[in-house]
Chain A
Amino acid sequence: MVTRSTTAPGVGRAAPGEPQLASFRAVCEQLAGRELRGATALHEFSVSSSREFWQALLHWSGLLWEGTSEPVCTGDDVETARFFPGVRLNYAENVLCPLGDDDAPALTSVHATRPAEHLTRGELRSAVARTAAALRTAGVGPSDTVASVAPNHAGTVVAALAVAAIGATLSSATPDMGPGTLLGRFGQVRPAVLLVDRTGTGAGADGDGVAALVAGLPEVRQVLVLDDEPLAAVGGVPVARLAELVAAVPDGAAPEDWPRLPFDHPLWVMFSSGTTGPPKAMVHGAGGSLLEHVKEHRLHGDLRRGDVLYFHTTTAWMMWNWQLSALAVGAHVVLYDGPVDGPETLWRLVAEHGVTVFGTSPAYLQLCQDEGYRPRDAVDLRALRAVLSTGAVLHDWQFDWLADAVGDVPLQSVSGGTDIVGCFVLGHPELPVQRGRSQALSLGLDVAALDDAGVPVLGEVGELVCRRPFPSRPVGFLADPDGRRFHEAYFADHPGVWTHGDRIEIAADGSARVHGRSDGVLNIDGIRIGPSEIYTIVRRLPEVADAMALEQQDPTRPGAARLVLLVVLTPGTTLDDDLAQRVRAVLRRQGSAAHVPSLVLQVEDLPVTHNGKKSERAARDTLDGVPVRNLAALRNPASLAGIATAAQQAARADAARREAVDDIPDGVARAFAEVLHAPVDEGTHFFDAGGTSRQSMTLLRRLRGELGRPIGMDDFLADPTVRGLRAALAADPAPADAVERLREGAAGVPPLVFVHGVHGDTDLYRSLVQALETDAPVYGLTAHPGTGHAVGTLSLADLARRHVETLTALVPDGPVRLAGYSFGGLVAFEMAGLLTARGREVTFLGLLDTLPPSSQLSDGARRLYHLAGRLAHTLPGMGEVTAGQFRRRVADRLLRRRRAASPAPATAPDRELARGEELFHAHRWSRHPGPVSYFRARRRPPVVLNHLYAWRRVAPDLTVVDVPGAHDDLLAAEHTPELAARFSAALRRSAA
């Protein structure tokens, strides 16, 4: 029998002063036939009587639906159970239903550079209805998916709700993502319609970007633009302005009775980046998403009419969808599509728009604290009643700071995931906030922490699982016809139970603290590495039988992590220097520099649990020298003794080697003797002793590796003796040595000059230079460590002046072209200014992902710049790219590489390098009016800072070219063909 909920909106609303949870508790108590006092009793009922709970919630919530709420759920296996197969509903209808006062504000869209737009609930519904009608006219139907690339503003929300209204599926992304990232996501979605806002903050959705997207998405049959930029056809696909289609909808032709579709009808496709393979494209159903969000907003957040919610998010993150659903409870939602310029940005927004519930991240709160910004002293926060934080763990002190600097409002640490488009742990209106903890487990979600043996634990960190079915489980993954990927993602470890991949500690009082990822994802200085990648690579070496990669606190660099690799070798094999070197080499080649371990240890056995699962935790505790907490869970605890012994031996050997190489003169003589297979006198010429050119390459590599000091070939050839090299190591070569010819070119063509990177060399440009299509002679300017103009010894301005002298001596007149990556880009920029001032024409200046020096940003922006990495980690898919960690990582990478190559201790060049970064950030840049081509890495963190704003202040004639990769691997070989093609094209444009 078909029933229709006739529950009037507002039924179940709590009495004033009483949380909505109280009225719902009454419903549950009636069902339970007993009192459910306290948060834990109610949660216990919600999971032990899970079906009653969800059914009661559906009825109590006042949501609009039809059909029958029986059965509630089709089974007990989380992987397969479906909720409410007899219920039909429409997400948009529920989000926009009349709540009595259609003139109440529903949406405020705040912009950085123009006044905010305001829509009442009635206006919003009407706009959505007209847009839905326009989409229908354009042929969009319930079986279609619409991909949206648009910022967090009202136009995007209206379009998103219109898509939902007609029963189509939405997949949203932000223009900050480059075409490569967008295609990686949308390629799986196969959208029929592409919705773009080309005025977004990035270039990803500009004209070229749209063309690239459409070219990569063959199913797109219509492009709809949200902006006012001129329309241009893209391939053979029609392009129309959505606003014009909406304007063409006749009055009265925009019905608001949208189709009610099955509970599991696909509402959104969202993405979660795995550590390997393409992003997981997860399909979320309309009913599950809506019910979960309404539950969280009303029961945990006590959000209601009169509340104003601002949650700082992009359209690419699940929190965007989550905050959208707050409309369903009658809250007024604030959107913002501008940059965060400093700690004050969001607090001002909160104050100006009367935000009552403000959602942000630990990183933003830390920024405010570090900047000494006190919101309560700066802005009027009287309306604010709660602050939400998610994306990472809040530190204890941040609770204290908030109480002091913001006021007496609860700080609710919520945590869940895109995977469930909701939260496992949340705030709670009846419970006090405890420092460092989330207040409560999500009602209806049977969350538990399992130890290594699979037993639920309290008060201990364990694996976060959800043991009973829940409505917001994804319907499934796209491109996963047999469900295998879905199964592998959540159900492989504990069949029938959702294993989320987080570690959590739950207390008896129901409060909890999430402790990061459990799937062994290593986070080495912000670079996320899947351990399976490392196993897969090292197992290709026949000597390696098994391996375990561990992240360990680096004993030599407080606060930093290092990668330790334990290897079990085949019988009869021992780990000698050669094998260790090959392990590192194969990881570097088939992985990346970040995959190269700082330490490789041979062990007999890896610790495994009784279930046969490897225990990284036990191994890590052993390495760290702390008591192993899960000893009883191990099948082979004796393996730990072997690990401890191996670690001690390695530490001793390391110390011995450090002493051995302290003597540089001996190092030079030893390298000569080894390469020439005989000892030589101090004054003997390398070639007189029988050395060949080929052997000279080996010699220089040995010196680089053993002494950690690069020696230029020119220095070597000038006096190829032991004595000469010792002198060269101590000397300051003439500036003429600072230029290298990287490639021959035609006479009369203006040269292209690459400026060294922060390491001082031009090695990084090799593959790019080789692949360029240009007839220009190509030079490289160097600043090797040990030279008088080494990176770190001169200010950046002085370095640029010195290079200008060198360049002028080399090419006395005529136009020049300059380019540089990162550090080199900033030096090149400064040189361009100096050369222009001298009347030289700089016809091309290529900046390869050069971030602005932080001293040139506002205080807040600078801090954000440093924190960008942490913020980026709160946004799925962007964790690899961390602008904020750029500074530290550049140095760490080099140190790690050097450690991998040799055990040389931190030496003067390392200090110079660190100094180089300081100088980079201290640099006060000048202005360059000439043309600048900015090659921007496509993979980069969104939201926080668009550093092009800063660049355009000093380089008004800036053209942005998106290139593949992230900041760190922009020049890697796999990206070279596309980078070289785009670079060559920019060169041609500049010459035209």
Chain B
Amino acid sequence: MPLLTQRTATTPPAVRDRGRSSRRVTCDVWLLDLTDGRWDVPRAAALLSSAERARAERGTPAVRRRRVLVRAVLREVLGELLATAPGEVPLDRRDGRPVLAGAAAGSGLDVSCSTGDGLALVAVAHGTRVGVDVEPQREQDWRDAAAEGWLAPAEVAAVAALPPAERAGALTRRWTQKEAVLKAEGVGLRRDPATVPTPGGDAGRAGAWELVAVPVPDGHLASLATGRPVVPVIEERSPW
């Protein structure tokens, strides 16, 4: 039984297929609803390497579940692209980030994953570095977030200037953009997020990075950073 599900009807096959074989820049993002009871976690866990399983096992039950499912879907997607069995995709972990190793390192593919509450994103790009981040909308007072120091002063001022109802959303948007850039750079939080400029909208540029919003269900916001302009193809990934 194929592990890959049908694409959603909103994604024309032509769009998706256009860059598969050429040097064109593409990016696919899969959305996973981790709360869906139909996911077969033991089966997914079987696709993981022993190191990946060990890492998943260290987490709380919820953490374990999301690590297993995200990594299994990542392996499936890459397996299809590389014509390899999911369990044999040469995946490594560097600075907390999955990277293709071995022969696949030269495939031109780059991957990034993110989870936020019950939602996960798996992004695979061809021809560019990629970083993705999804965050649940939180109730936190925006002032407290501003005091955490990950916004530059100008960004704090920009958020403060918004109507009160829009501040929390703007804050979360900026975080997802910063986090996406940090993931694309591969440095993660080793670079101070305050030093990552954000465009002040749902999309734009952050230094050398192109930022776009990833449409996700209400209650979440997600952003994608790529090194070159790209129109990401978004697909929902249903449980087996």
Least CB distance, B150 to chain A, in whole angstroms: 5
Question: Does B207 sit at the interface, judged by CB under 8 A?
Answer: yes
Contact of B189 among A693, A698, A771 (CB under 8 A): A693
Range of interface residues on A (Cβ < 8 Å): 35 or more
Question: Does A743 sit at the interface, judged by CB under 8 A?
Answer: yes
Q: For A769, what are the chain B residues with a Cβ–Cβ distance below 8 Å? A: 195
Q: For A687, what are the chain B residues with a Cβ–Cβ distance below 8 Å? A: 59, 63
With contact pairs A741-B191, A744-B207 given, residues A689 and B143 touching in the complex (Cβ less than 8 Å): no
Listed from nearest, the 10 A-B pairs whose CB atoms lie closest are A973-B153, A701-B148, A688-B59, A697-B148, A688-B58, A767-B153, A713-B189, A697-B150, A585-B143, A690-B63
Interface contact A694-B63, CB-CB below 8 Å:
no
A681 CA / B59 CA spacing, docked (Å)? 12
Interface contact A697-B149, CB-CB below 8 Å:
yes
Q: For A697, what are the chain B residues with a Cβ–Cβ distance below 8 Å? A: 148-150, 193
**Which residues, 678 to 699 on A, are CB-close (under 8 Å) to B?**
685, 687-690, 692-694, 696-698
Interface contact B60-A688, CB-CB below 8 Å:
yes
With contact pairs A697-B193, A770-B154 given, residues A690 and B60 touching in the complex (Cβ less than 8 Å): yes
**Which residues, 182 to 232 on B, are CB-close (under 8 Å) to A?**
187-195, 197, 207-208
Closest B-chain residue to A778, C-beta based? B195
Closest B-chain residue to A742, C-beta based? B195
The total of chain B residues at the interface (CB under 8 A) is 37
Interface contact A713-B197, CB-CB below 8 Å:
no
Interface contact B153-A766, CB-CB below 8 Å:
yes
Interface contact B143-A766, CB-CB below 8 Å:
no
With contact pairs A688-B63, A692-B116 given, residues A701 and B149 touching in the complex (Cβ less than 8 Å): yes
Question: Does A953 sit at the interface, judged by CB under 8 A?
Answer: no
**Which residues, 695 to 726 on A, are CB-close (under 8 Å) to B?**
696-698, 700-701, 713-714, 717
Q: For B147, what are the chain A residues with a Cβ–Cβ distance below 8 Å? A: 585, 701
Q: For A771, what are the chain B residues with a Cβ–Cβ distance below 8 Å? A: 154
Q: List 6 A-B contacts (CB under 8 A).
A: A688-B59, A688-B60, A693-B179, A698-B140, A714-B190, A741-B191
Question: Does B233 sit at the interface, judged by CB under 8 A?
Answer: no
Least CB distance, A179 to chain B, in whole angstroms: 24
Interface contact A740-B154, CB-CB below 8 Å:
no
Question: Does B157 sit at the interface, judged by CB under 8 A?
Answer: yes
Q: For A689, what are the chain B residues with a Cβ–Cβ distance below 8 Å? A: 59-60, 63
Question: Does A763 sit at the interface, judged by CB under 8 A?
Answer: yes
Task: For the A-B complex with A697-B148, A742-B192, A744-B207 known, give 4 more contacts whose Cβ atoms are closer than 8 Å.
Answer: A589-B160, A685-B58, A698-B145, A770-B195
Provide the B45-68 mask, 1 if CB < 8 A to any CB of A, else 0.
000000000000011101100000
Closest B-chain residue to A588, C-beta based? B147
A689 CA / B64 CA spacing, docked (Å)? 10
Interface contact B152-A694, CB-CB below 8 Å:
no
Closest A-chain residue to B209, C-beta based? A744
**Which residues, 966 to 992 on A, are CB-close (under 8 Å) to B?**
972-973, 976
Closest A-chain residue to B182, C-beta based? A693
A497 CA / B175 CA spacing, docked (Å)? 58
Provide the A713-755 mask, 1 if CB < 8 A to any CB of B, else 0.
1100100000000000000000000001111100000000000
Closest A-chain residue to B64, C-beta based? A688
Q: For A589, what are the chain B residues with a Cβ–Cβ distance below 8 Å? A: 156, 160
Interface contact A690-B59, CB-CB below 8 Å:
yes
Q: For B188, what are the chain A residues with a Cβ–Cβ distance below 8 Å? A: 693, 717
With contact pairs A689-B63, A690-B59 given, residues A766 and B195 touching in the complex (Cβ less than 8 Å): yes
Provide the A763-777 mask, 1 if CB < 8 A to any CB of B, else 0.
100110111000000
- Among A694, A698, A763, chain B packs the most CB atoms within 10 A around the CB of A694
Question: Does B110 sit at the interface, judged by CB under 8 A?
Answer: no
A697 CA / B151 CA spacing, docked (Å)? 11
Question: Does B76 sit at the interface, judged by CB under 8 A?
Answer: no
Q: Which residues of A contact B (CB under 8 A)?
A: 578, 581-582, 585, 589, 685, 687-690, 692-694, 696-698, 700-701, 713-714, 717, 740-744, 763, 766-767, 769-771, 972-973, 976
Least CB distance, B115 to chain A, in whole angstroms: 8
- Among A578, A685, A698, A972, chain B packs the most CB atoms within 10 A around the CB of A698
Least CB distance, A954 to chain B, in whole angstroms: 33
Least CB distance, B4 to chain A, in whole angstroms: 28
Question: Does B33 sit at the interface, judged by CB under 8 A?
Answer: no
Q: Which residues of B contact A (CB under 8 A)?
A: 58-60, 62-63, 116, 133, 135, 140-141, 143-145, 147-150, 152-154, 156-157, 160, 175, 179, 187-195, 197, 207-208
Least CB distance, B204 to chain A, in whole angstroms: 15
Interface contact B149-A763, CB-CB below 8 Å:
yes
Least CB distance, A286 to chain B, in whole angstroms: 48
Q: For A714, what are the chain B residues with a Cβ–Cβ distance below 8 Å? A: 190
Interface contact B175-A694, CB-CB below 8 Å:
yes
Interface contact A582-B143, CB-CB below 8 Å:
yes
Closest B-chain residue to A716, C-beta based? B189
With contact pairs A694-B175, A744-B208 given, residues A976 and B148 touching in the complex (Cβ less than 8 Å): no
Q: For A694, what are the chain B residues with a Cβ–Cβ distance below 8 Å? A: 135, 175, 179
- Among B135, B140, B192, chain A packs the most CB atoms within 10 A around the CB of B192
Q: For B152, what are the chain A residues with a Cβ–Cβ distance below 8 Å? A: 766-767, 770
Q: For B179, what are the chain A residues with a Cβ–Cβ distance below 8 Å? A: 693-694
A770 CA / B152 CA spacing, docked (Å)? 8
Interface contact A713-B135, CB-CB below 8 Å:
no
Q: For A578, what are the chain B residues with a Cβ–Cβ distance below 8 Å? A: 141
Interface contact B154-A973, CB-CB below 8 Å:
yes
Q: For B157, what are the chain A residues with a Cβ–Cβ distance below 8 Å? A: 973
A688 CA / B150 CA spacing, docked (Å)? 23
Q: For B194, what are the chain A residues with a Cβ–Cβ distance below 8 Å? A: 763, 766
Q: For A763, what are the chain B residues with a Cβ–Cβ distance below 8 Å? A: 149, 194
- Among A740, A767, A972, chain B packs the most CB atoms within 10 A around the CB of A767
Least CB distance, A562 to chain B, in whole angstroms: 21
Closest B-chain residue to A680, C-beta based? B60
A612 CA / B157 CA spacing, docked (Å)? 38
Closest A-chain residue to B115, C-beta based? A692
A694 CA / B176 CA spacing, docked (Å)? 9
Least CB distance, B154 to chain A, in whole angstroms: 6
Interface contact A740-B192, CB-CB below 8 Å:
yes
A698 CA / B148 CA spacing, docked (Å)? 6
A767 CA / B194 CA spacing, docked (Å)? 9
Q: For B189, what are the chain A residues with a Cβ–Cβ distance below 8 Å? A: 693, 696, 713, 717
Q: For B197, what are the chain A residues with a Cβ–Cβ distance below 8 Å? A: 770
A89 CA / B51 CA spacing, docked (Å)? 98
Closest B-chain residue to A744, C-beta based? B207
Least CB distance, A586 to chain B, in whole angstroms: 8
Q: For A688, what are the chain B residues with a Cβ–Cβ distance below 8 Å? A: 58-60, 63
Closest A-chain residue to B183, C-beta based? A693
With contact pairs A701-B148, A763-B149 given, residues A713 and B60 touching in the complex (Cβ less than 8 Å): no
A233 CA / B45 CA spacing, docked (Å)? 79
Least CB distance, B70 to chain A, in whole angstroms: 13
Interface contact A690-B62, CB-CB below 8 Å:
yes
Least CB distance, A525 to chain B, in whole angstroms: 23
Least CB distance, A682 to chain B, in whole angstroms: 15
Q: For B62, what are the chain A residues with a Cβ–Cβ distance below 8 Å? A: 690
Least CB distance, A539 to chain B, in whole angstroms: 17
Closest A-chain residue to B191, C-beta based? A741
A769 CA / B195 CA spacing, docked (Å)? 8
Closest A-chain residue to B66, C-beta based? A690
A689 CA / B150 CA spacing, docked (Å)? 22
Q: For B193, what are the chain A residues with a Cβ–Cβ distance below 8 Å? A: 697
Q: For A743, what are the chain B residues with a Cβ–Cβ distance below 8 Å? A: 195
Least CB distance, B108 to chain A, in whole angstroms: 22
A229 CA / B194 CA spacing, docked (Å)? 47
A743 CA / B208 CA spacing, docked (Å)? 11
Q: For A685, what are the chain B residues with a Cβ–Cβ distance below 8 Å? A: 58
Q: For A976, what are the chain B residues with a Cβ–Cβ distance below 8 Å? A: 153-154
Least CB distance, B5 to chain A, in whole angstroms: 27
Q: For B207, what are the chain A residues with a Cβ–Cβ distance below 8 Å? A: 744
A687 CA / B67 CA spacing, docked (Å)? 11
- Among A685, A742, A766, chain B packs the most CB atoms within 10 A around the CB of A766
Q: For A770, what are the chain B residues with a Cβ–Cβ distance below 8 Å? A: 152, 154, 195, 197
Q: For B191, what are the chain A residues with a Cβ–Cβ distance below 8 Å? A: 740-741
